[in-house]
Amino acid sequence: MDAYGDPGLGLLGDPTRRAIFELLARQPCSVGELATRLPISRPAVSQHLRVLKDGGLVVSRAEGTRRVHQLNPDGVTALRAYLDRVWEDALTAFQKAADNAGSEQEKQ
Amino acid sequence: MTTAPAIPPLHGKITVGVSAERAFDLFTRSFNTWWPAQFHIGQAEPAEAVIEPHVGGRWYERGVDGSECDWGRVLAWEPPHRLVVTWQINGMWQFDPEPANASEIEIRFTPDGPEQTVVDLEHRHLERLVAGQAMRDALVGGGDWRAVLELFAKAAVDQRRAGDQLL
C-alpha cells in the first residue's frame, strides 16, 4: 500500500492499536472500559492511545469526572487509515485464496 | 456547504496465479470464503459477506443473529475485467444511503499470462464520506443548520433500519 506521507497511516499496523481503534469506532470509551475488553493493562492501553492521539486518529474529552476517547471526528483521516489496513489484509487474503485455487486446479 | 478537498485514493495491487475469469469469480462469488472475518461493521459477529452479482446489487454482511449490514452497491459488473462497488460506511460507522456520500472501489483484473492475473484496487472519493465534520461545523460558529437536520434525519433512518433488523 502507498503511504502518501499521511500521518494516520502505519499506526494501525499494530494489532492492539487496531483493536482499540475498532472498539472506539463503535463507541467512545474510557481507558478502563478499553482495558476490560482487551487482554492488556490500563497503562498499556494508555500508551497505545497516546500513539493514536499523536497520529491524529483519536481525540479525548472530559465527560463529567471521566475522560472518554473517541475517533477524531475531523475529516476522514481515521477512516482512511483504517481502510488502508483493510485493503492490505483483504488483498493478501484474496491472493492466498486465489493461489490455493490455482494449485488445486493444477492437481486435477 | 463547501466541497470537501479531495483525499488521496488508496491503492493496492497483487498478482494471483489464476486466469482473470477465475480471479473475478473467486473475488465476487466466493467473496465470503476469503474476506478477512475480522473486518465487519455490524454489531453482531459476522456469518457471511456477500456481493450480489449484478449492477445495483447489494454488498453487505450478515451477522450470526441474522441481522444485515449494508456496505454499498455494485456500480459496474463487467466480468472478468472490472468491478466497481461503493463503500458507504461513514466516519460514524454507519451505512449512509445517500449516493452523493458514497466512496467507490474499483477492482481491475488484467491477464498477465494464461494463468496469471494482476489485480488492481483503487478506493477513491473518500472525501465524500460524512465523517462528522459537517456536524461540528454547524455547531461551532453558526454554520449550516440544514446540514444538522439532514444528519439527524439520516441518523433517525439509520436507527429505524437498525431497529427493523432487530425485529
Domain total in chain A? 1
A7 or A60, which is more confident? A60
Residues of B whose CB is below 8 A from A6: 8
pLDDT of A108: 62
The boundaries of the domain holding residue A28 are 11-107
- In the block, cell 491472493 appears at A95
pLDDT at residue number A22? 80
Cβ under 8 Å to B: A residues 23-82: 25-26, 71, 73-76, 78-80
> Residue A60 falls within a domain, yes or no?
yes
Give chain B positions within 8 Å (CB) of A79: 90-91, 126, 129, 131
B95, B158 in Cβ contact below 8 A?
Answer: yes
CA gap B117, B24 in Å, rounded: 10
Q: Which amino acid is at A4?
A: Y
Concatenate the DSSP letters of all residues of A31-69 into one string.
HHHHHHHSSS-HHHHHHHHHHHHHTTSEEEEEETTEEEE
Residue type, B75: L
For residue A89, being part of any structural domain is answered with yes
Tell me which H or E stretch contains A79.
helix A77-107
Q: Which comes out higher in pLDDT, residue A70 or A37? A: A37
Q: Is the pLDDT of residue B142 over 60?
A: no
**Closest Cα to residue B4, out of B149, B131, B136, B98?**
B131
- Whether the per-residue pLDDT at A16 is higher than 70: the answer is yes
Quote the pLDDT of residue B144.
40
Chain A residues close to B133, C-beta within 8 Å: 73-75
Q: What is the mean pLDDT of chain B?
A: 78
B40 — pLDDT class (breaks 50, 70, 90): confident
Q: Residue A1 domain-assigned? A: no
User: Is the minimum CB–CB distance between B102 and chain A shorter than 8 Å?
Assistant: no
Query: CATH code at A92?
Result: 1.10.10.10
Q: Which of A5-19, A41-55, B74-88, B121-135 has the highest mean pLDDT?
A: B74-88
Chain B residues in contact with A98 by the CB 8 A cut-off are 16-18, 22-23, 26, 34, 117
Distances in Å between the Cα of B162 and the Cα atoms of B63, B67, B95 are: 13, 9, 10
Q: What is the pLDDT of residue B79?
A: 96
CB crowding B22-39: b at 16 or more within 10 Å, else e:
bbbbbbbeebeebbeeeb
